[in-house]
């Protein structure tokens, strides 16, 4: 089975409607895929329905941002983490989108975005980058598919508008100069701690997986320390296959997963036309679907 377990739709910062993804996945030669939008399950229902029609395997997922420090107990504002993302990304697989625990976290994350985004726009204005927040919302919420009021609007949408308006040449420049930690218009946002996020994923019937560990930019020893802590908190797996992982990373991470008795997953992190990553260009290890289902059964 060829399955891409990391994709984004217009419900967050992808550019394809959730209901269109299954057709694209089939065209890419996949047998199945997971939709893992940032901080929202809003696209899962239309994606699941379209996947069913096409006879594709579908895993309902989410990618939650959590504080960069898994040892944090309170819920402080995210410090500039050791990563260019300023946070740890946690994938949830087989989550029920009507789960109350997950809804609570999604709502908090959305409110934090609604607070942060206008602050970013204001900081940008102070730097001579004049954008209308309504234009960002229009760009992000152009699609009305799948609970539009619950879409995750964020920096990628702001970055795209900056490119379109000629303020920067690329999304990468927008993040490096302005939007990322250390950037002139960086604004931290309030994020859930690892324990709360993992508990919410489990409560939603899902399996919790550490996304693209190389993005954390940690030494081998620090990564092991992080994984040990996250495993104590209930982590179930590590994303070993990812577009930003070199073969040596995948090998090292697979060994780490074995060491902590965690399952391994993989996917491309497809964002449609917003990133130069093809759907299905990275697939999960052979029997991942079965192992994910087995693991999810214990939280059902």
Q: Considering the rule CB under 6 A, would residue 67 count as an interface residue with ligand AMP? A: no
x-or-dash pattern for ligand AMP, window 219-258, by CB under 6 A?
Answer: ----------------------------------------
Q: How far is CA 64 from the centre of its chain?
A: 6
Spatial separation of the C-alpha atoms in residues 39 and 179, rounded to whole Å: 18
**Closest CB to ligand AMP among 190 and 293?**
190
Taking the least distance from each CB to Zn ion, the nearer of 20 and 269 is 269
With beta carbons less than 8 A apart as the criterion, state whether 37 and 25 touch. no
* Helix H or strand E segment including 63: strand 57-66
Is residue 19 near ligand AMP by the rule CB under 6 A? no
271 versus 291: smaller Cβ distance to Zn ion = 271
Q: How far apart are CA 241 and CA 86, in angstroms?
A: 21
Reduce the DSSP state of residue 224 to 3 states and report it: helix
Minimum Å gap between C-beta 154 and ligand AMP is 3
| Residue 171 site contact among Zn ion, ligand AMP, Fe ion, none (CB < 5 to 8 Å, cut-off depends on kind) | ligand AMP
Q: Which alpha helices (H) appear in the chain, and where do they start and end?
A: 21-27, 44-54, 100-126, 133-140, 155-164, 171-174, 194-203, 220-232, 247-259, 288-297
Complex with Zn ion: residue 95 or 121, whichever CB lies closer: 95
202 binds, among Zn ion, Fe ion, ligand AMP, none (CB under 5 to 8 A by kind): none
Q: Cβ of residue 298: shortest distance to Fe ion, in angstroms? A: 25
Task: Identify whether the C-beta of residue 271 lies closer than 8 Å to the C-beta of residue 279.
Answer: no
Interface residues for Zn ion in 267-286 (CB under 5 A)?
Answer: 269
**Contact assessment for residue 92 and residue 224, using Cβ atoms and an 8 Å cutoff:** no
**Contact positions vs ligand AMP (CB under 6 A):** 13, 38, 84-85, 154-156, 171-172, 175, 180
């Amino acid at each position: 089975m060829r399955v891409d377990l990391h994709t984004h739709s217009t419900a967050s910062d992808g550019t394809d409607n959730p209901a269109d993804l299954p057709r694209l996945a089939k065209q890419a030669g996949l047998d199945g895929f997971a939709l893992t939008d940032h901080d929202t399950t809003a696209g899962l229902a239309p994606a699941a329905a379209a996947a069913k029609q096409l006879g594709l395997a579908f895993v309902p997922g989410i990618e939650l941002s959590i504080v960069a420090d898994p040892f944090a107990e309170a819920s402080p504002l995210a410090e500039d983490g050791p990563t260019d993302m300023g946070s740890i990304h946690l994938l949830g697989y087989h989550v029920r989108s009507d789960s109350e625990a997950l809804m609570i976290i999604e709502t908090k994350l959305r409110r934090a975005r609604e607070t942060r985004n206008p602050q970013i726009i204001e900081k940008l204005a102070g730097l001579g980058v004049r954008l209308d927040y309504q234009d960002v919302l229009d760009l992000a919420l152009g699609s009305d598919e799948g609970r539009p009021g619950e879409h995750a609007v964020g920096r990628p949408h702001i970055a795209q508008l900056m490119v379109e308006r000629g303020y920067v040449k690329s999304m990468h420049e927008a993040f490096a100069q302005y939007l990322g930690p250390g950037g002139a218009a960086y604004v931290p946002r309030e994020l859930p701690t690892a324990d709360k996020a993992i508990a919410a994923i489990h409560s939603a019937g899902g399996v919790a997986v550490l996304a693209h560990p190389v993005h954390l930019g940690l030494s081998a020893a620090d990564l092991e320390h992080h994984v040990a802590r996250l495993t104590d908190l209930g982590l179930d797996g590590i994303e070993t296959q990812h577009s930003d992982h070199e073969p040596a990373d995948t090998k090292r991470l697979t060994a780490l997963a074995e060491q902590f008795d965690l399952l391994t997953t993989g996917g491309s992190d497809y964002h449609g036309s917003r990133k130069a990553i093809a759907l299905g260009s990275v697939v999960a290890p052979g029997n991942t679907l079965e192992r994910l289902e087995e693991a999810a059964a214990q939280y059902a």
